[in-house]
Structure 1
Amino acid sequence: MTPNGTKHNELRQLVRSQLELLLESGNLQGAKSLLIPVQPVDIAEAIEGLPEAIQLIAFRLLSKGEAIEVYEYLNSDVQQALIQEFKRQEVLDVVDKMSPDDRARMFDELPAKVVRRLLAQLSPKERQATAILLGYGEDTAGRIMTPEYISLKETLTVSQTLEHIRSLANASEVVYYLYVTGSSRQLTGIVSLRDLVIAAPDTSLVEIMTRDVVFVHTDTDQEEVARTIQRYDLVALPVVDSEDRLVGVVTVDDVIDIIEREATEDIYALGGLQSDKDNYFQTSLWTVARRRVVWLLILLLTNTVTGAIIRSQEDLLQQVVILAAFIPLLTGTGGNVGAQSSTVVIRGLNTDEIQNMGASKVIFREATAGILLGLLLGSMATVWAYFLQGNISVALSVGISLIAIALLASVAGSALPFLFRNLGLDPALMSAPFITTAVDVLGVLIY
């Protein structure tokens, strides 16, 4: 982390600790003054770090405009807790003024009963905007887009457009991209604010707009939306319906949140965990244990096969006891090699980095890497085993087994993600447990 980043973190922690001290001592005016120069996102973080009993007090110190902005940055648990404590008018003041996409995201986290009550209290305009977003499928472009954008008719001139922007700028989340539509609201082009500023006042929008527009449909998956914005370096991405009518835009700040959530889900899945989009550290221990025990039970049962293989060689192990000492080395190394292969393949699938290579090329590449790793590790293991035992047969068995296990682990680690994806399963969640089991069982069988 950079020195400036470290300093900023220290300041945030200082604000949180001072805010807590002032509130606990009843110095509300001092707490209010403390928050005046602080950014909304940092205020939200400070409130999240406070004891639940004083979170509402801190929030009520904010002005109405600042409270709305801060509320959008709070995590869903704190938002829900505050809503339960708000008076009816406070709920309306905050929720009604939120941007539609942030409001829809919050409603996804709230109980259905609370959502119905809040929807009924919204103004007709905001209720309709929120209901439209909630009507789209979860994790799609339609669900995360904002309907607050500026659209322009092709017949407008530059001077008319600038006047139109001035009248609507406060009602739009994005003013640097302006979308041009035809008579039936079909998206026909895009024009930047820069192009408008430098163009002659009487120039028609048709003359300066770009017709080659990158867009997504309302049912496009949010991960694909994020990749599109990343690929074309966009700040906002228009969303159209099935008839190519412009219905909203997805902004880059929402995409950053999506990328973070999806990466978190993938990391949890690689460990055999199901996140269900909850904050793991704010989930009850019973729920955590229930989610984690499933795969552990499966691994416990399948690994009994490993024990059965070892028991079948009991006579040999009694004759050459040192053989047993190398079993953890072989299975552990195989598991690590398999985990490395599956990690790079799963990441490649998620980012489309290996889309053009095809499964066979990726698996062959990883198999080759597995052989190279096996030769390196097997040579060292052979020398080490001979040094410990002085038995060339044991040493060669360990070395050759390690080469075979590294090859097996690389192939399994690269092939299983493709297999599970083709079966419609989550490669990240399914691959890790199966790779561990396959490598353990077959590795011991090879040895």
Structure 2
Amino acid sequence: MTGNGVKHNELRQLVRSQLELLLERGNLEGAKDLLIPVQPVDIAEAIEDLPESMQVIAFRLLSKAEAIEVYEYLDSTVQQSLIEEFKRQEVLDVVDKMSPDDRVKLFDELPAKVVRQLLAQLSPGERQATALLLGYEEDTAGRIMTPEYISLKESLTVDETLIRIRSLANASEIIYYLYVTDASRHLTGIVSLRELVLSAPETALGEIMTRDVVSVHTDTDQEEVAKTIQRYDILAVPVVDRENRLVGVVTVDDVIDILEREATEDIYALGGVQSDKDNYFQTNLVTVARRRVVWLFVLLLTNSVTSTIINSYQGLLEKAVTLVAFIPLLTGTGGNVGAQSSTVVIRGLNTDEITDMGAGKVVFREALAGILLGIILGTMATIWAFLLLGKSFSVAFSVGISLVAISLLASVAGSALPFLFRSFGLDPALMSAPFITTAVDVLGVLIYFNIAKLILGL
């Protein structure tokens, strides 16, 4: 797998470098020939890597059919820049032939004025399909589904069905699942292409179809749609309205995009970075700074509180100045322990792995883990501090006991806060990191100084 990934990157870089070189020399025929054997997704990546002035030229070299497929793989920012450079008819030719769900993704990134202009000039069928999807809430099954599917009646025979598939295949995004509906478009069953091929030609669909169909509603959250496809190991899931009428299908390629986007958002959130739908590394630095400064400002205030607490214990520190040397060790270790707990809990919440356990069991389990980690790390820290301080056991013991207490605090905070924030309808990934840091820094220093004060008798 790794070897294939390395080869793919090498091929991508080779195509990109050769394409740029040919375009610089004005050898458009050579550039066109270079792209002929390359897969659309690889062409899209190569175009994205080109300087902006060359992207339009490279895209114009593609045939109309290939341009439509490549355009769907391009990053939204590149799609927008190409739209601005295209002539109106060229834009319509590409956008009109896109699949409705991919077209809606593009429209979500464009200014409303441009969307209205494009929508008004689409062919009637494509305009209706796109308007239907745009009418649903963002991040729902209705918004990401495709209305391009094949529906059949259960009275059709296998032979008649195959003939119908041949006539409709080009107008459908999927043919590996066929959906059976009644006269009112209610979803009644599903037949896979495999079952169809293996059945006798005269067999009616009603005899071979599966009536227990897994489906989602138009207002189902897209993450839940992704989990449904993942849970049942299917390539697509039908979307029905409240009357159980079939209105569209969500395919696995859309789900992969959703899972990648949601995972990216969670990773950004765990780092205290606000995430929008655009590519972070193609965003201007002012916007980047604005997104990242919010939680950094919160942490700055937190550190001010910590500094105030340290200042209030000046009397203790004057009598045992060596205590100061271990503050970074304790707060840093506590922050890491808390981050580990919050990471596993947030991941468990997202994958439903800990749903059955309940918050109480999860927090208790993490508390025990925190105590165990604290004992191990505290013992090592005590020995290290004892040797470092010239065999001053009281201070070393204070450090070790404090590390146990802080590890327990960090584990409880790291595991409990995600549950707390989710109960208030907040994003656990975004909220947990700064609050855990706050709790560990402020309470950790208080715990450390009070334990030291007690043990040292000051």
Q: TM-score range by the shorter chain?
A: over 0.9
Structure 2 matches for 1:38-437, cutoff 5 A?
A: 38-389=38-389, 390-437=391-438
The Cα of 1:303 is off from its aligned counterpart by 2.4
Aligned to 1:18: 18
TM-score normalised by length of structure 1: 0.99
User: Secondary structure of the residue that 1:326 maps to in structure 2?
Assistant: helix
C-alpha root-mean-square deviation of aligned residues, in Å? 0.8
Question: Percent of pairs identical after alignment?
Answer: 82
Aligned to 2:443: 442
The Cα of 1:110 is off from its aligned counterpart by 0.5
**Structure 2 gaps, min length 5:** 449-458
Contact in 1 for aligned 2:181/2:188 (Cα 8 Å): yes
Relative to structure 2, which stretch is displaced further, 92-101 or 312-321? 312-321
Query: For 1:405-437, what per-residue CA distance to the aligned partner results, in whole angstroms no more than 9, with x for missing partners?
Result: 000000000000000000000000000000000
Runs of 4+ in 1 over 6 A off after TM superposition: none
TM-score normalised by length of structure 2: 0.96
User: Secondary structure of the residue that 2:97 maps to in structure 1?
Assistant: coil
Structure 1 Cα separation of the partners of residues 56 and 300 of structure 2: 47
AA in 2 matched with 1:412: A
The Cα of 1:152 is off from its aligned counterpart by 0.5
Contact in 1 for aligned 2:77/2:278 (Cα 8 Å): no
The Cα of 1:56 is off from its aligned counterpart by 0.6
Query: For 1:11-58, what per-residue CA distance to the aligned partner results, in whole angstroms no more than 9, with x for missing partners?
Result: 110000000000010000000000000000000001011111111110
Query: For 1:84-140, what per-residue CA distance to the aligned partner results, in whole angstroms no more than 9, with x for missing partners?
Result: 111121111100000000000000000111101100110000000000001100000
AA in 1 matched with 2:68: I
User: Secondary structure of the residue that 1:210 maps to in structure 2?
Assistant: coil
Structure 2 Cα separation of the partners of residues 105 and 278 of structure 1: 12
The Cα of 1:2 is off from its aligned counterpart by 2.3
Structure 2 Cα separation of the partners of residues 361 and 319 of structure 1: 43
User: Secondary structure of the residue that 1:243 maps to in structure 2?
Assistant: coil
Relative to structure 2, which stretch is displaced further, 83-92 or 264-273? 83-92
Structure 1 Cα separation of the partners of residues 309 and 26 of structure 2: 69
Q: How many residues align?
A: 447
User: Secondary structure of the residue that 1:220 maps to in structure 2?
Assistant: coil
Contact in 1 for aligned 2:149/2:175 (Cα 8 Å): yes
AA in 1 matched with 2:145: M
Query: For 1:134-155, what per-residue CA distance to the aligned partner results, in whole angstroms no more than 9, with x for missing partners?
Result: 1100000010000000000122
The Cα of 1:175 is off from its aligned counterpart by 0.4
Structure 1 Cα separation of the partners of residues 164 and 343 of structure 2: 51
